[in-house]
Amino acid sequence: MGYLVEGFKTAFVILFTGQEETFSAIFTTLKVSTFSITITLAVGIPLGFLLGYYSFPGKRVCRTVVDTLLALPTVVVGLLVYAFISRVGPLGSFGLLFSLKGVAIGQFVLGLPIVVSLTASATEQMENSVRLTLMTLGASPGQLAASSLWEGRYAVLAAAMTAYSRIISEVGVSMMIGGNIKWRTRTITTAIALETGKGQFAEGIALGIVLLGIAFTVNAVVSLARRRASS
C-alpha cells in the first residue's frame, strides 16, 4: 500500500506544480471533448426531437437501432472510424487519422445515439396539452420545436451531460484514432493507460483525479437536471 500513498502524494505535487506534460493531456481532452459535444448536440437534439415528436413508417425500427447503439463499445467505434479515415479508406485523403479532428469524429459517433435517444424520450414525455396549445396558437414548425425543447430543457440537459460524460471518459476511440501522440493527441484516458503501463503511477493518479473531478461535476449536473425534470 505504500506505493499508493506515495503515488497520491506525488500526484498532488504534479497537479499543483503544473507539470507541462500532464496539463497538455488535460487541455487536449477538454478541447476535443468540447468540440465533439458541441457538434453532437447540434445534430442530435433536432434528430431526437423529430424521432420523439413525429410518427412515420419505420419509427420503431429507428428507435430500436438508436437505443441499441447506446451500448456500442468504444473500440468498435474506433475500428469503424479508423476504417473510414485510414489512408485506404474513403475519407483517407482528408488526413484525419492520428489527429484531434479524427478523434472528434469518433466521439461524435459515440455520443450521438445518447443525445438522440434521451431527447426523443424527453419529447415523448411532454404533455399533449402543451402540443395542442402550441398548434392552436398557430406556432410554426420551428417555434413548435423550440417551445417543445424548452419545456423539456432539463431532460435535454441531462442528455447532453450524459453524452459528455461518455465522451470524456472513453479510451478506445482516442487510442485507435488519435494514436496517443505526445503534445498532440494524448488525452487524459490514453495518458493514464500509458503511464500506468510504464509503472508511472503518480502521473496516472494525477490524471485520474482530474478525470474523476470532471466526471463528478458532470454527474452532479445530470442529477440536478433530472430532479428538475421530474419535479
Let me know: does 200 contact 69? Beta carbons within 8 Å: no
- What structural domains and CATH numbers belong to the chain? 2-230 (1.10.3720.10)
When pLDDT is cut at 50, 70 and 90, the band that residue 129 belongs to is low
How many angstroms separate the Cα of 43 from the Cα of each of 90, 99, 136, 222? 22, 22, 28, 20
Give the pLDDT score at 19: 84
| Greatest mean pLDDT among 11-20, 87-96, 197-206 | 87-96
Cα R_g (the chain), whole angstroms: 20
Give me 63's grid cell.
Answer: 428507435
Q: Which position has the grid cell 395542442?
A: 132
| Range of 17-31, 104-118, 137-151 with top mean pLDDT | 104-118
